[in-house]
Amino acid sequence: MKPFATLTAVAALMLAGPAQAEFALDSRFVDADGDLIADIPTDAAELSDPATLIFAYTPVEDPAVYAEVWQGFLDHMAEVTGRNVQFFPVQSNAAQIEAMRAGRLHVAGFNTGSNPLAVACAGFRPFAMMAAEDGSFGYEMEIITYPDSGIATVEDIRGGQMAFTAETSNSGFKAPSAILSAEFNMAADTDFEPVFSGAHDNSILGVANRDYPAAAVANSVLARMFERDVITPEQIVSIYTSQTFPTTGYGTAHNLTPELQASIQDAFFTFDWTGSALLEEFANSGESQFIPITFQNDWAVIRTIDEASGVTYACE
């Protein structure tokens, strides 16, 4: 994991554009303080104070695996908040966003790329992110292939097929699309055939099993799959590594009572990672604590990528 300030050609591209991408919340939400996230409602009738909190982790890998990984943390959250807490296994970013928008999801980790959409359309209020012991955080997008694929450089993808994860994913679609266009003058459907796997683990397994000749993935997911022996390093060849991006953002639905939101934040920042299943899983990608973040500052580069890529946050 690199320091967040590390820059490559794609960073230079993003910094050459506007300092901050235009961003607006859905009309359902109010942002009176200008911090780019939905304010907590001031009308008590609009507040929610559920007896059972529903938590969902971003659908990057097998939900059944992560239900066990998160259980110790959810037990801690239950103790701190005085509520029951349930793990909700989601199958897609769209389903996760819709669940929060509909009031069925209260606490969540949204992946890097879907964070702005969750903030704009579902009233998501991110406040935390995983980090290393020294406070550094983030992951890189890597373009991977398999040994003897005939692909030694990014240019070798031209004329072939490349796997992405989903259009809401930063490292699985948005960032590599911007990089391929700006740095290599390559566009989907013109210079290569794009296919979508639905998730980072699907793309990684697809390359390892030689179903996809190349794929863009988050290397934090790749590291965890190596550690769990789902695949071996010998099955993968990396041909490109991006700048460092912020990782999954954790937060709450905007309309939970202020007291409940405060206690949920307290649960994140008081959790003892020592000996936990969370540490066992996420130490593989260099993460061992929760640190406070702001969407306005820490997701500025992602909003700029979205603007450079022509992304809009359409809320249905």
Buried b (16+ CB within 10 A) or exposed e, 138-170: bbbbbbbbbeebebeebeebbebebbbbbebbb
* Residues contacting residue 98 through CB under 8 Å, at least 6 positions apart: 122
Q: Band the pLDDT of 123: cuts 50, 70, 90.
A: very high
The per-residue pLDDT for 306 is: 86
300: tokens are 């500025």
Averaged pLDDT for residues 4-29: 54
Least confident interval from 16-20, 31-35, 69-73, 89-93: 16-20
Domains in the chain (CATH in brackets) are 9-136+246-308 (3.40.190.10), 139-245 (3.40.190.10)
Percent of the chain scoring above 70 in pLDDT: 92
Whole-prediction pTM value?
0.79
| Cβ atoms of 224 and 19 closer than 8 Å | no
**Average pLDDT of the chain to the nearest whole number:** 90
The per-residue pLDDT for 60 is: 64
Compare 18 and 56 and report the one with higher pLDDT. Answer: 56
CA distance 19 to 28: 27
Residue 141 has pLDDT above 80, yes or no: yes
Residue 109: what are its φ and ψ, rounded to 5°?
-110, 115
Averaged pLDDT for residues 100-122: 96
- DSSP letters spanning 221-233: HHHHHHHTTSS-G
- What are the tens digits of pLDDT across the range 29-62? 999 999 999 999 999 999 999 999 999 998 866 7
The per-residue pLDDT for 72 is: 98
The residue written with tokens 């001031």 in the block is 42
- What are the tens digits of pLDDT across the range 285-306? 889 999 999 999 999 889 988 8
